[in-house]
Chains A and B, each alone.
Chain A
């Protein structure tokens, strides 16, 4: 190993300690995972113990992420390399911002699990190994611009997710959902790998920036156009599966309905937003590979492709949610619709030199942060209703305002925030996306704006169905019993959603800070890359 390092000049001049520090949030997750593996041998399988270890790991990782973020926002590390040698991993403002959101959300999900399952769960170590495994995958997904690493990260995120969906092996619906999820996942992974192989074959590199250059050349000259586009679309399909974008969304409602509520909550936000950030990063690399700002138009087929996919996803999610009677399934479709809104922000293709280069990406980041609270709150209420009544049917929500006002009111806030109604944060999330699209000031932008606002209108009705059941109807079901900690969580979410509306300004400033330097190509030297070392062996093998 040492010899290997000494021989490879790619490692020369790289400060390994510093790099370990930059990746420390991910490393902390991996170490916690190992600790959880070891726990049953050393201290036993008690769910509370395992939960405590997991919480400590999350907190440690979170603190590390904040420290790294402190460094990053000072401008110490930044930049997205457009050099051919772009590495397997990179840490920049965006990836660290997402890791912070991810870890905060993971804390919320663990808390929810603690409330609901820590007394009865027999397989806590396995659950947390899977949870941490998928979190590592998602954190890696946003920290790379290398095709091989993308494929690996997506698989690392997906495989534990399949198992988590079917975690309760006595539950037939969960097993069925897991199988469906697995089949879709396996096929889309295969398609994506095929696409990657095509792109690699055409460009001779796994670095997205090289591939992007090649694609742009193909678009401009028509040379190798078909095969490049096929490769690109296959890659997009793999990512779209994780986003659950149309037409790769079929797994989503089944998996969400069959899985335990904690797992559904986790998947609805974390896996989708990780894939969205990844997609946004690919888009950024493509835009950054364009030499002149005027030439950005050459990418408009891609922008339109993502834009139309966004509109279809959004519209389909909203219409399909209409007839649902299971609230979990309804929220699954709602999460498809929200993936559509967020995809719209990804469709903002602008040149890095343009004045508005970071509008789309900072809007996406803001939206994810808000979306996390909306879904945590809504699923938190659903899970408490499920724990008490054993059903997530709409009818078990009837009269919730009387049966548990402290659940019904935050639920209304979360749902109205999901609709995007002021004065809740969901409106601010949508607003920044609309602004980013408006900045484009072209047909695509206005088309997406119109689609987005009309989808808001469509979505109102099915969210209101839950509200109607909770507040306007009452069939005399008995009052709900619920853990106080859970009530605190959902009410906190509701308050945060109200506060975030008032704090629209600082939120925007923060997310702009976290997206400021990602287009910056001048600071490549500072970019944290574990350099091309791992790529070269592959090529040398070929030779």
Chain B
């Protein structure tokens, strides 16, 4: 408590702690509390504590749904009102305050963060449970460290999706690195050392660019305010005047003074136009995480070497941070930068889609194939965002959620068979459906969801993005061409997935695998929610995702297009 007092800046500790007991704070720090508990708990209890913690976190995050069923019930457009920056469960406490710097502990949730929070807690719970019977536990080593790191990782991930102060965002972003490094490096496969350091270096490379943008955005917003006379009213908070720069992501995006200064072509950073440059810095930081060709090379290594539950986390949640970063930082804060780079980004997106699909087709390692398919799917996210249309944004968001469900499922399916066969050579498998009928059914659902079969979740995201891209043809003539090329990738996707299913699951039953037990009860319990969601999201896209996100997404888009239309 004393520490909390010092950390939050001093005054009135009890009151502050009352304020700090906010739903979001609890969600974010519950896993960290669980990690502390794991530190002192006796060894046999650790697994249960960790799984329970992640389950409680998941259940608790479900209470966030109440914002949609309260007095202003309805979709996110009703809940979050008509301006970008309307948030729920807001908590702001001063953290580091000096004469000129005001870093806040500022959390809040809107239609961008909400679905990703639910996704994170769900995938974390499932993968925590999936860690129950890892092979390494049989020799009894490292179980404590593993679950502590796992829960710290979850805190970092949740923090990223709810922090609205850029500095805090950055801290949470970096907080994930070290746990992830050790989770891959200690518990990974053969080449884990290489994969872990590669992941670390790539991500840190992105973060240092983000750090430059962090410092630059703060001081340039300060300049903007100084030029406007030193005092500017806050864009969305009542009775607040800005006298210095700010780290507040909503303020940076919506304050007209700051926006005008950021997007002015006269504003230069080392004699380069400010908005396009900062957009590029942030973009590269997030693109490495997403990942996008040519920053993707860490992903196949990390995914393949990581243990199954960590691959699930990587694919299910970590990749989404890139997309979230675009929508939270790049586009709202630097709309003119977005316009400047639109064509390049769309092309990179399409290249990622095609390149990822072609690479996936060439793989003989089961896990690597799924990893490359992620690159292809994330290409849709970038394409959808880059074209800046309603359907594009919505499709990108949906694609993130859909991929967050289908890819952990695929990785878990690979893990299930790897546990039994101890290899991942696609060509050595065959006829598994005959041997393991339940597993075969689940696998078909998972891979068809990933393929984008109509009626499954993967389809909605892709088709929305393609529609959005066609839609953009009215403002960007090149969009038609790109949409057509991207549409053809569906054939490639179908190609590698169907070929995969034929080689692994169909055909004659093989002698080697004859004695394999079908999926266990625990495995079914992990797969079932994902399989169910893959179907439900595909059948009821509005009710499951779009209703919760579209309001905010449309506001972001309106904000962006409005800013672009102001360019002389």
Contact = CB atoms under 8 A, between A and B. Distances in A.
A21 interface: no
B204 A457 contact: yes
B211 A453 contact: yes
Contact of A423 (B171, B185, B215): B171
Interface in B206-220: 208-209, 211-212, 215-216, 218-219
Contact of A461 (B96, B185, B201, B218): B201
Contacts of A453: 208-209, 211-212
Interface stretch (A3-11, A377-385, A442-450, A530-538): A442-450
Contact of B100 (A355, A423, A457, A505): A355
Contacts of A437: 215
Contacts of A438: 215-216, 218-219
B200 A460 contact: yes
A422 B100 contact: no
A421 B177 contact: yes
A451 B174 CA distance: 19
A379 to B, nearest CB: 22
Contacts of A460: 200-201, 204
Contact of B215 (A434, A502, A508): A434
Given A423-B171, A453-B212, A468-B193, A508 B177 contact: no
B512 to A, nearest CB: 32
B171 A502 contact: no
A461 B197 contact: yes
Q: What secondary structure prevails in chain B residues at the interface with A?
A: helix
Interface in A451-486: 453-454, 456-457, 460-461, 464, 468, 471-473
Interface in B129-167: none
Interface stretch (B1-9, B66-74, B233-241, B458-466): B1-9
A506 B218 contact: no
A502 B3 contact: yes
B215 A505 contact: no
B212 A464 contact: no
B219 A471 contact: no
A173 B399 CA distance: 62
Contacts of A506: 6
Interface string B262-289: 0000000110000000000000000000
Interface residues of B, number: 39
B114 interface: no
A473 B178 CA distance: 17
Contact of A472 (B101, B171, B186, B218): B186
Given A355-B100, A472-B193, A503 B212 contact: no
B192 interface: yes
Contacts of B478: none
Interface string B387-410: 000000000000000000000000
A449 B215 contact: yes
Contacts of A449: 212, 215
A415 to B, nearest CB: 11
A439 B215 CA distance: 9
Contacts of A421: 174, 177-178
Interface in B163-201: 170-171, 174-175, 177-178, 182, 185-186, 192-193, 196-197, 200-201
A456 B208 contact: yes
Contacts of B6: 502-503, 505-506
A369 B196 CA distance: 32
A512 B100 CA distance: 13
A471 B175 contact: no
Contact of A435 (B171, B182, B185, B215): B215
Contacts of B170: 422
Contacts of A542: none
Contacts of A434: 211, 215
A356 interface: yes
Contacts of B98: 508-509, 512
Contacts of B185: 468, 471-472
A268 B180 CA distance: 32
A225 B9 CA distance: 50
B272 to A, nearest CB: 10
B523 interface: no
A187 interface: no
B547 interface: no
A505 B269 contact: no
Contacts of B212: 449-450, 453
B365 interface: no
A420 B501 CA distance: 46
Interface in A335-358: 355-356
A131 interface: no
Contact of A505 (B95, B175, B186, B209): B95
B227 interface: no
Nearest to B9: A505
17 contacts: A421-B174, A421-B177, A421-B178, A423-B175, A434-B211, A435-B215, A438-B215, A438-B219, A446-B269, A461-B201, A499-B3, A502-B3, A502-B6, A504-B96, A505-B95, A508-B96, A512-B98
Given A471-B185, A472-B192, 8 more contacts: A421-B177, A435-B215, A441-B223, A446-B269, A449-B215, A504-B95, A505-B96, A512-B98
Return the 9 tightest CB-CB contacts between A and B, nearest first: A453-B208, A438-B219, A438-B215, A422-B174, A422-B171, A505-B96, A472-B185, A457-B208, A453-B211
